[in-house]
């Protein structure tokens, strides 16, 4: 039995993690799952939420993830996330200000295309806020 698994966490912007870890809690669309060494193969779509990496040292690293896929096979977890942001980089007060501004901008939208883009931004900010509140 292995005591660690290889994690590859990648977003379109950059590779965020490539290392051996103890386990990873993944927010899958059909429910959260804990990827651990010797885990059965899994392919899952990721829902917005908090990805929790348990390091070999015992520390935890948390990321807000939104969209993408997770594939677990052969003691390797590959996560291709549409967005992945370390929770430690987020500021709740700033997110709340941005939510207020996004709501105001949405009220002033001039057409459906603008309204749709602003609604997506507001939804993303709300998901960030929820992840930050739950993730700490």
Model confidence pLDDT, tens digit, residues 79-134? 999 999 999 988 889 899 999 999 999 999 999 999 999 999 899 899 888 888 87
pLDDT: which is higher, 135 or 78 = 78
Among 3.30.300.10, 2.60.15.10, 3.90.550.10, 3.40.50.300, name the CATH number for the domain at 5-88.
2.60.15.10
119: number of Cβ within 10 Å: 13
**Structural domain boundaries in the chain:** 5-88, 90-135
Exposure string for 21-31, b = 16+ CB within 10 A, e = fewer = bbbbbbbbeee
Bridge partner residues of 64 (DSSP): 50, 85
In tens, the pLDDT along 36-68 reads: 999 999 999 999 889 999 999 999 999 999 889
């Amino acid at each position: 039995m292995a005591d660690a698994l290889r994690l590859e966490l990648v977003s379109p912007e950059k590779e965020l993690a490539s290392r051996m870890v103890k386990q990873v809690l993944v927010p899958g669309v059909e429910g959260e799952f804990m990827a651990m060494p010797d885990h059965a193969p899994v392919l899952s779509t990721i829902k917005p939420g908090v990805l929790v990496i348990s390091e070999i040292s015992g520390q935890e690293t948390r990321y807000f993830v939104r969209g993408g896929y997770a594939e677990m096979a052969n003691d390797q977890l590959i996560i291709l996330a549409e967005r992945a942001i370390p929770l430690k980089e987020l500021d709740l007060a700033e997110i709340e200000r941005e939510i207020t501004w996004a709501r105001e901008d949405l009220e002033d939208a001039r057409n459906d295309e603008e309204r749709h883009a602003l609604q997506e931004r507001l939804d993303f900010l709300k998901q960030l806020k929820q992840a930050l509140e739950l993730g700490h």
